[in-house]
Chain A
């Protein structure tokens, strides 16, 4: 009985959420993650309203939300399911371009732009989820490095297809071709033109839409993590053989995580696309996949709120480093390395913990003393 109490104690974070013994770890995580998103939104809106935040940074608001969502959704595969995926930008691209096409079609039927945005995002998510399902079924039997290689290849394939894809709309309907000889009537519109990408996109994305996307992604991922499904996925990650031996359908659970993650990435992609007037396939290169993975790793694999902070900071950082001009990327890399050294350094961690402990015990002491005085 004594032992039991000793082990339970560190699991309940006293300062953040008191009480709540069962599932406290989950509640704490959800609390922090939602708080970060909502407070971040509040601060940035306030900053923009008061004119503290410049135009350059304001332009980054939607990308920040998009990257935060991508980091959360990739965490579902990398952190919770424990598979290394290097093709997240591919799913983002699928969602982005299908979202753009859908938005263009909807423009003739629906006049409210926020509804257009919402429906195009849902469509982007569905198409990306379908892509996730199609490549997920054959490859999820692979493990570790092999899965990483295939997802990497998938990302490149998507980008290369987009490089030669032409998509247009005219009276007869939608037309597409894999070269520039697409036969279109005179009054036609080109939606996607090969390597130039999607053009003439109407910018419908807003910071508020972005924060809703991030909250929605967070809601889905946290709920999966804390469901029967999520526990099964994590059990398989921890020990595949044990998972199989108690009757878990390994492929089904891994596929669920993969498809949901792909769908959420597609949704983020659709919003991302509608933040710009043109969007080239080069945006969704391997570098973008790695960038999203960097958010996840830097925030701590499986740590959702860590990923949120990392995504936000690392999106702002290149903008903030503009004054370094030519040395921008160099500074960026150095900052990354410093963060890695600092976060996983036991010396820094223990010194910090000692400091915090000293401060809190001093506060407690003072409280006791003042309490006595009052009494």
Chain B
């Protein structure tokens, strides 16, 4: 198992605010790795930095052995990292099918059709609604669409930012089931979650982020049992 993503000592600032203070972690091929932590801990900022929307002042980010710390965001997608941003950012005015096609913007034309089929296979619900305007989908369906769209560029690494946000518990279960299925079919996943319980239950490894620092790391099970995590994030 090779390392897909290596994040080495990144420091990210929002103006004068030091948001990420020397975070290092890695993601291996075929894993589900999760970053958990409270609001404002720096989880989303870390993902933004990996996908090139923000820049680190120090350190390096390596994807498949090559540094991407200075690569512009649109080229990082072409290299094989797909980022599903927080809050279900679908193109509201477009249909489901068009949203998926937008996701294949950098994909070769002959791959678009099989990719759409693959996404429909993973998310049968999207196939049912392929001609529906995305803005009229339910929250869970929009989340599925955002994930499906990210899969259209054949990512080697899929980064999910709070996929459970604002969803009913039954939908959260469904979404996590899908994440597990995607992982089984070969996609490496980096998951950011506030719902620590769910995230730890499917993760191979996990990191706890507190105010811009990694304070704990270990396998999902280990952390789920850890006294500190239980108290802070799992409600005792």
Q: A: which residues have CB within 8 A of B?
A: 3-4, 7-8, 228, 231-232, 235, 238-239, 241-242, 244-250
Contact = CB atoms under 8 A, between A and B. Distances in A.
Interface size class, chain B: 20 to 34
A245 B84 contact: yes
Contacts of A244: 51, 53, 73-74
B77 A246 contact: yes
A248 B132 CA distance: 24
Contact of B132 (A3, A231, A245): A3
Interface in B104-135: 105-106, 129-133
Nearest to A252: B74
A232 B130 CA distance: 20
A300 to B, nearest CB: 15
Nearest to A249: B74
A264 to B, nearest CB: 25
Interface stretch (B8-16, B90-98, B190-198, B207-215): B90-98
A241 to B, nearest CB: 5
Contacts, number: 69
Contacts of B106: 246-247
A242 B72 contact: no
Contacts of A238: 91-94
A7 B133 contact: yes
B85 interface: yes
Interface string B59-75: 00000000000001111
B149 A246 contact: yes
Given A238-B92, A242-B85, A247 B78 contact: yes
Contacts of A247: 73-78, 105-106, 153
Contacts of A245: 51, 77, 82-85, 89, 150
A242 B85 CA distance: 7
Listed residue (A8, A238, A247) with the most chain B CB atoms within 10 angstroms of its CB: A247
Given A231-B102, A235-B102, A246-B153, A241 B74 contact: no
Nearest to A247: B77
Nearest to B51: A245
Contact of A242 (B73, B75, B129, B146): B146
B118 to A, nearest CB: 16
Contacts of B37: none
B74 A235 contact: no
B103 interface: yes
Contacts of A242: 85, 89-91, 146, 149
6 contacts: A231-B102, A238-B92, A245-B82, A245-B83, A246-B102, A247-B77
B235 to A, nearest CB: 31
A241 B85 contact: yes
Contacts of A246: 77, 82, 102-103, 105-106, 149-150, 152-153
Nearest to B87: A241
Nearest to A231: B102
Given A244-B74, A246-B153, A239 B131 contact: no
A235 B74 CA distance: 14
Given A238-B91, A239-B92, A7 B77 contact: no
A239 B90 contact: yes
B154 to A, nearest CB: 12
Contacts of B75: 247
A306 B103 CA distance: 31
Nearest to B152: A246
A248 B93 CA distance: 18
Nearest to B73: A244
A87 B206 CA distance: 52
Interface string B40-55: 0000000000010100
B131 A4 contact: yes
A248 B77 CA distance: 9
Contacts of B73: 244, 247
A236 to B, nearest CB: 10
Given A235-B91, A241-B53, A247-B78, 12 more contacts: A4-B131, A4-B132, A228-B105, A231-B102, A232-B102, A238-B93, A241-B85, A244-B73, A245-B85, A247-B74, A247-B77, A249-B72
A143 B206 CA distance: 37
Nearest to B53: A244
Interface in B132-146: 132-133, 146
B115 to A, nearest CB: 12
Listed residue (A3, A8, A238, A245) with the most chain B CB atoms within 10 angstroms of its CB: A245
Contacts of A228: 105
Interface in B169-194: none
